[in-house]
Amino acid sequence: MAHTHTHEDSDSYYPEQLCLIAFSGLFGGICLSLYFWQTDMLKLVLAEPFHLFVLISGIFLVGLTVLRAAVLWKIAGEVNTPGQEQQHSHEHEGHEHHDHGHCGHEHHHHDHDCGHHHHDHGHVHTADCGHQHQHGRGHTHGHQHDHEHGWAPWRYMILLVPVILFLLGLPNKLPEVGATNLQVSGAFEKEAMGYGALVAAGPAQWNQLSAWLALSHDPTTGPAHKIDFLTLEQSAYSGRDVWNGKVVRVLGQYQPSMNSLREFNLVRLQIKCCGADAIPLPVPIVSKAPITGVAPGQWVEVTGKVEFVKQRGSFITVLRVPARANVKPSEPDPNPYVTSS
Amino acid sequence: MDYERFILVFTSIIYEALPFIVFGVVIAGLLEEFVPQQFIARIIPRSRPLAIGMGGLLGGVFPMCECGIIPIMRRLLRKGLPLSVCVAYMLAGPIINIVVILSTYVAFTNKSIFESAWIVVALRVGLAFVTAFVTALIVERAYKKYGNALLAPQVVRGLTANDDNGEPRRRSAFDRINNITATALGDFVDIMAFLILGATLAASGREVMEQLSKPQPTLNAEIEEFRSNGTRGLKVVKTTPSDTNGLKEGDVLRKLAGKSVTTPADIDTALRRKKPAEDVSVLVLRDGEEAEVETRLNARQVDSAFVDLIQNNVLVAILLMMGVAVVFCLCSEADAFVAANFPVMWPGAAKLAFLVFGPMMDIKLYLMYTRIFRPRLIWTIILSVALQVIVYCLITHYVSEYLMRSH
């Protein structure tokens, strides 16, 4: 009942192992490269807290690869010494059957008697003594076992895909900030539209408009506090007393309103773990002057006055902006996302 | 098809999961080498339900992303952990751990469904535990009936291999390193291939969904067809002028974005490549004269029939959300965030279904399951989990409605 060992398997052992080493090394190298050199790409793909994990797994992968290569080198060296029995210090009472579920090479047959003559093809197969293998008679093995190759190259084609993407420098851009409905409450909306409608109505109405404008507060008295986007957005929940009425300066991406030039959303993408879970976070902005000449998605720095508006039962943050000059094109934030910790 | 978003979703799923796979295979390699076979079988409680219950809570002690659990579980099976206990750990582990509990709480703090974020957490954890427990019991019964035929061939070989009488073996450091590295790297490559396949499917599914739910551009005006003197045309019957809308009531549309328009279908054609909030030029007939104006496109409101459907048929909403969870393949640490930000029209019970079903089943998990289980077992698990999630979420929905009504 002992299974015969097929020597074709030995031909595929080394290519298999070399593939393992190559790809583990590649991915380890990519991880380290992402952490140390391609940080922009890493920032696009993962939230900050996860960067450390990538570094650690890169170190582990490279370490395991080096160890495996060293072991393989030693084994190969021992093989080339002809006629020499393998010096593996096996315990003969029982070997653990090594799960060769890799590279599509699902099954090894082994002919073993417990007198233990280890084959001289350098097979470090911690095999069971054949007669204790509990394979039933007529046992057929997994369909992946292929006597010609003994391994499945298709798996490595798949593994190449992320490697190729990395070499191409992808991904390298934030996804588009899509159009969403502005979150301002009804009152604010009417106000924003009101300016616009008056202008559209023609010169006869200008007096009314300027009167209206004169009655509104001028929002930019005082120095502007530089504030980060997430703090601004969340001030509606936990900082209303602190921030109400303050003049702030904040960086974000411009998202035009569908209804008026005098309102828009300032948007940042928020992620928790990775780019796949990114959600656009908007802060509505209402302006006295029409905001033109800004492309959707463009990074801008906005200076305006903080106000809180109730919407669907809870408060949201809104900025009031007096003039076009308060919306300035800006360099993108080196950190593409905002993350709440 | 947004290629940039596709690549971003694809790579982020991979690099999010990769560290956990590495940790998982290292731990698996160490388990393989240092824990004697059948050791675990001797230390778990005799009562199988009790063991299953503990398995479900094991994630509290060993938090690990879903992907890392697979290689570990493969080794635990070989070390004597009963299949049903493994399944309990596999299903509940990604949810019942500190990291996910906290992130669920934070995500729902200001966007709560069911009154408060703690209730969401309690429901998520509770339903996950019950689902995992019941499924594990079902698996236990199946195992008694079918034994190792439930498992993939390579796993069975490992199980039925002769064991070492439960004593730690004395082997050289060389052999140990050899075994650990071979196991770990082999597992790594094996699982990575399936992760990549899963990520491809997930990113593709995501693109399909984004295309389907993309807001369609529409004119910021009510348009009606008219016929007069044998001619057909389109007239603006209602519109609000503003600094972005040059249309006026009574305008007859002649050209839209450079294309002639006489029927509503023409409008759709003209706007096909446009997006909401984009400015388009319109040639109109106004007071007998042609005029060129600009108008900004709006977004067509979500089909109210669809909104009615999901609000009045919670079952449909739940099923749709479970489908979304399968396609999105999100890590269980992040999915609370995404669920909390789904539009308000989705019932809370549907979002709950997303939160419980997602960590237990998605495309990449399914592919990884095929490395350990045979299809019969995989589908047993899927059916058990899916049916339970549907039933429990429906119950939750009706109970919460009842409680709200009686307030």
Statement: residue B262 has pLDDT above 50: yes
Band (pLDDT 50/70/90 cuts) for residue A198 is low
Mark yes or no for CB contact A54/B175 under 8 Å. no
Give the residue-averaged pLDDT of B4-10: 90
Q: Say if residue A104's pLDDT is above 70.
A: no
Q: What is the amino acid identity at position A89?
A: S
Among the residue ranges A36-40, A199-203, B149-153, B307-311, the one predicted with the least confidence is A199-203
User: Cα angle at A79 between A78 and A83, to 5 degrees?
Assistant: 100
Confidence of residue A220 (pLDDT cuts 50, 70, 90): low
- End-to-end Cα spacing for chain B: 47
Q: Which range has the worst mean pLDDT, A143-157, A290-304, B100-114, B311-325?
A: A143-157
Contact B188 A91 (CB under 8 A): no
In terms of pLDDT, which residue wins out, A84 or B302?
A: B302
pLDDT above 80 (res A20): yes
| CB-CB under 8 Å, B18 with A258 | no
Q: Which residues pair with A51 in a beta bridge?
A: none
Identify which of B36, B40, B46, B42 has the alpha carbon closest to the alpha carbon of residue B58. Answer: B40
Instruction: Kindly tell me if the per-residue pLDDT of B381 is higher than 60.
Output: yes
DSSP-derived 3-state class of residue A226: strand
Give the one of A17, A165, A260 whose C-beta lies nearest to B244's C-beta: A260
Residue B135 has pLDDT above 60, yes or no: yes
Residues 6+ apart with CB under 8 A from A26: A163
ipTM given for this complex = 0.79
DSSP assignment string, B214-236: PPPEE-SEEEEEEEETTEEEEEE
pLDDT given at position B142: 92
pLDDT the model gives residue A108? 41
Q: B297 to chain A: which residues are within 8 Å by CB?
A: 258
Q: Find the range with the poorest average confidence among A294-303, B106-115, B191-200, B273-282.
A: B106-115
- Cα(A25)–Cα(A59) distance, rounded to whole angstroms? 10
Across the interface, do B14 and A162 touch by the CB < 8 Å criterion?
yes
pLDDT, position A179: 60
Highest-pLDDT range among A7-11, A32-36, A172-176, A305-309: A32-36
pLDDT at B2: 82
User: Cβ contacts of residue A201 below 8 Å, gap of 6+?
Assistant: B241
Residue A24: pLDDT band (50, 70, 90) is very high
Distance in angstroms (rounded) separating the CA atoms of residues B145 and B39? 24
Query: B294: closest CA among B242, B247, B239, B240?
Result: B247
Quote the CA–CA distance of B322 and B315 in Å, as a whole number: 11
pLDDT at A134: 34
Flag if A57 and B22 touch (Cβ within 8 Å).
yes
B160 in contact with chain A, both atoms CB, cutoff 8 A = yes
Structure tokens at B110: 């200001």
Q: Which of B334, B379, B388, B380 is nearest to B357 (CA)?
A: B388
Tokens standing for residue B247: 């249309």
pLDDT of residue A249: 93
The pLDDT of residue A122 is 36
pLDDT, tens digit, for every residue of A132-173?
A: 333 333 333 333 333 333 367 788 899 999 999 999 998 988
> How does DSSP classify residue A102?
B
Residues of chain B neighbouring A181 (CB-CB closer than 8 A): 299
Judged by a CB distance cut-off of 8 A, whether residue B173 touches chain A is: no
pLDDT reading at A8 higher than 50: no
Q: Determine the pLDDT at residue A150.
A: 38
Residue B138 has pLDDT above 90, yes or no: yes
pLDDT higher for B380 or B210?
B380
Intra-chain end-to-end CA distance of chain A, in Å: 61
**B162 vs A45, A90, A132: nearest CB:** A132
Is B29 within 8 Å of B195 (Cβ atoms)? Answer: no
Question: What pLDDT score does B11 carry?
Answer: 93
What token pair was written down for B150? Answer: 């439930």
pLDDT greater than 70 at residue A195: no
Cα distance between residue B49 and residue A94, in whole Å? 33
pLDDT greater at residue A262 or residue A331: A331
Residue A55 in this model has a pLDDT that exceeds 80? yes
Query: Do residues B327 and B202 lie in contact, with contact meaning Cβ atoms separated by under 8 Å?
Result: yes
**For residue A89, pLDDT beyond 60:** no
Q: Are A321 and A286 in contact (CB under 8 A)?
A: yes
pLDDT band at A303 (very low <50, low <70, confident <90, very high): very high
Residues 6+ apart with CB under 8 A from A266: A229, A250, A252, A253, A254, A255, A282, A283, A284, A285, A300, A302, A319
Could you tell me which residue, A88 or A49, shows the higher pLDDT? Answer: A49
Residue A316 has pLDDT above 60, yes or no: yes
Q: Report the pLDDT value the prediction gives residue A146, as an integer from 0 to 100.
A: 30
* Low-confidence winner among A40-54, A242-256, B98-112, B267-281 (lowest mean pLDDT): B98-112
Q: What pLDDT, in 10s, does the model give residues B20-54?
A: 889 888 888 888 788 776 677 777 888 889 989 98
| pLDDT above 70 (res B395) | yes
Which residue does chain B place closest to A60, by CA atoms?
Answer: B22
The conformational region for residue B270 under phi > 0 = left, psi -120 to 50 = alpha, else beta, is alpha
Asked whether the beta carbons of residue A90 and residue B157 sit closer than 8 angstroms, the reply is: no
Which one, of B335, B387, B338, lies nearest residue B362 by Cα? B335
Round to whole Å and give the CA distance between B250 and B269. 22
Give yes or no for B291 touching A (CB within 8 A): no
Predicted pLDDT at A99 = 43
Asked whether residue B392 carries a pLDDT value surpassing 80, the answer given is yes
Roughly what angle, to the nearest 10 degrees, separates helices A51-79 and A8-36?
150
Using alpha carbons, select from A80, A90, A77 the residue that is nearest to residue A118: A90
Which two structure tokens, joined as six digits, stand for A335?
A: 């950190």
CB contact under 8 A, B162 and A134: yes
Q: What is the pLDDT of residue A181?
A: 53
Return phi, psi of residue B256, to 5°: -125, 120
Q: How far apart are CA A219 and CA A322, in angstroms?
A: 6
- From residue B74, alpha-carbon distances to B31, B66, B70, B191 in Å are 10, 13, 6, 12
The reported pLDDT for the residue numbered B308 is 81
